[in-house]
Structure 1
């Protein structure tokens, strides 16, 4: 599914600007709304997966919805249809996200949970750089025909649904007795203060990291030929894939505050480089640092959610975590788009660095209170 999605997403900002004439503010609104939708929907699918004690059926529906929206991008003639397609695609992502993460947490032994989430991030990200590579090759072959590439992206999306349907077996449910309401007052009290502090830290992290669509636009500004722009996402995701598992394994052995702080420092440096330089070589350095940041932090935050919640509430816990992060993503992407539109690209990345500094201060104040308790 990542191959399918990234074939489209690596080209979509260019398609919206150069074919449909959408402004950068409009791109920020579309990307923010789409990603926020995915994260917000996760709260409902996570609760449902805890209530029924089943993860796979919800994940299957989410993957299928994502696959069947892909043709809409190929036929889109306006920003309205793009927005509709992005929202439906992200609803599918939201439906499958929390049950899938809860499934990983259910299967992985607690003592290597960080490594397990790091491995999951790495494997996800392999698809995320194969997709842009295919997009680049097809754009060169077909002379920048966006719509033809979007049609090809339908194929791996459908294959993902078949793999999940026939190849994945679900472990026994976390509870086999009477169904209970995961969001009842009694159950919500079982979500500890440590968990809610992880939620807040994750939200502030998201404010500091807006949509990767702006990396694509920055590459175009740097003079990279249009057909080669998706290589920016390839480079970022190669670094992300290569670093996620090692850093996930490290997170099982060192303080999570230290690793999160280093991840923020990597993102600050990436933002400063992207803000201050237009040359493609500096662009590559900034993009690779962005990938290192992702590898350091994304699997770790998922691990911390699992470590601070009981097994039968993990779907709900991931849902609330992503609800708050979704709101933060919407705010971050809209602010980034507005800054780009009215103040220029540099202002967008300088603002990102500023949010990183605030996040680092927040982590230093509150992070020491979020030590995980094994579930």
Structure 2
């Protein structure tokens, strides 16, 4: 049944893309562009806050390192389980835009919460709710992108979305530090402006048409369900059509390549050093001025933004698994450069270009791989499982690297993570590129 639905949707999407090319319209669906614009504006809102939160918490509110560590951990990993829960709910209800809207709205309201409290307990709750909002919206949003796009264009579509999203992630910190430079210590003004941007993002989402509620798609799905019921001699033609259950979603996902892909994403995430640690290593080695530190984030985001679309298009042509694996090979090469003790003016651009290319090869490409690996009816749940595994692994990696740095030194920490990444990369190459049973994912 799901194969028939995917084939019908794919043929319809192909016709739309062919018509778009003939008439000169954008080469991705309107839904993808609107979701990209929503993410762009929302990321301006969230990143202009996250860029100044360390200064606000430590310098303005006087928090100790333990308190800041708790809040930073929540900000990094607070969205993990919400992705899985609300990805399944979106699949069950077939209302992806509404569920995503709940997530965007919750994060928007949390910006106002930062205006009314400075206490550690309430701030912890606000940040947790904000990250929960991110978790709620991510899987339904990516599911809408995948349902609006033929499978052979998924890398391009996710590349366009991630480029727009990253543009917001680049502009947000610049705007936050510019406002802070113009009005020192006026953090509440930044929170209020952030709320306004978040509200605009919610308004743009209202213009998005949920692909799952498209009348033609619903009619095709009901026709497929009726045909399946007629073909089954024991089926009751008058019985209501079953809704997706947790067990049903698990059974469907078990028969797909998603499980192997999720394990791979988890292993790679465990061996990934967070950007902040890489930047701190650069700062320690080159003795950068404090005013330049935020620009490291901007530099990486700029490379990611520029390369996301061409790399996504390349993944559609040469194979997403190859591009995904190459992205982590680039990251491993970056670890080796830092371990070599290299200095000089080229170290910063090499690091920023390497990180930007790594994100371009992995972020949207992983979403495209996951979308191609699961049926449409459980796509939100599948993408949520993939995102949850990645988020939990990266959260654990951050704690592990920090502990290794404190106990054994940064050089030892990089050696351990480089070896771990090399091992995870070998597993990835075997499963995605060499093992015949997984070639469907590699070719996707």
TM-score with structure 1 length normalisation?
0.88
Counterpart in 2 of 1:310? Answer: 375
Counterpart in 1 of 2:422? Answer: 357
Counterpart in 1 of 2:275? Answer: 212
**1:235 maps to which of 299, 313, 318:** 299
**2:265 maps to which of 189, 202, 205:** 202
Say which one has the larger Rg.
2
3-state SS of 1:371 partner: helix
Distance in 2 between the 1:270 and 1:121 partners? 22
Any residues of structure 2 matched to 1:226-265 within 5 Å, and which? 226-265=290-329
1:362 shift after superposition: 1.5
Distance 1:186 1:8, change over 3 A: closer
Q: Which runs of 5+ in 2 are unaligned?
A: 1-41, 223-240
2:159 is equivalent to residue 118 of structure 1: yes
Note the alpha carbon deviations across 1:329-349, whole angstroms, 9 max, x for none.
Answer: 221121123234444554554
What RMSD over aligned residues (CA atoms) do the two structures have, in Å? 2.9
Counterpart in 2 of 1:367? Answer: 432
2:234 is equivalent to residue 169 of structure 1: no
Note the alpha carbon deviations across 1:48-73, whole angstroms, 9 max, x for none.
Answer: 11111110001111001111112444
Distance 1:330 1:56, change over 3 A: same
Q: Which runs of 5+ in 1 are unaligned?
A: none
3-state SS of 1:180 partner: coil
Distance 1:213 1:13, change over 3 A: farther
Any residues of structure 2 matched to 1:96-175 within 5 Å, and which? 96-143=137-184, 146-165=187-206, 167-173=207-213
Counterpart in 2 of 1:286? Answer: 351
Counterpart in 1 of 2:10? Answer: none
**1:334 maps to which of 399, 420, 426:** 399
Distance in 2 between the 1:263 and 1:124 partners? 19
Q: Report which structure shows greater RCO (CA 8 Å, sep ≥6).
A: 1
1:193 shift after superposition: 4.5
Distance in 1 between the 2:168 and 2:407 partners? 35
1:21 shift after superposition: 4.3
Distance in 2 between the 1:281 and 1:201 partners? 32
1:308 shift after superposition: 1.0
Distance in 2 between the 1:40 and 1:57 partners? 19
Query: After alignment, is 140-149 or 287-296 more displaced?
Result: 140-149
Query: After alignment, is 335-344 or 294-303 more displaced?
Result: 335-344
1:250 shift after superposition: 0.9
Distance in 2 between the 1:271 and 1:343 partners? 17
Distance in 1 between the 2:152 and 2:397 partners? 34
1:15 shift after superposition: 4.0
Distance 1:42 1:280, change over 3 A: farther
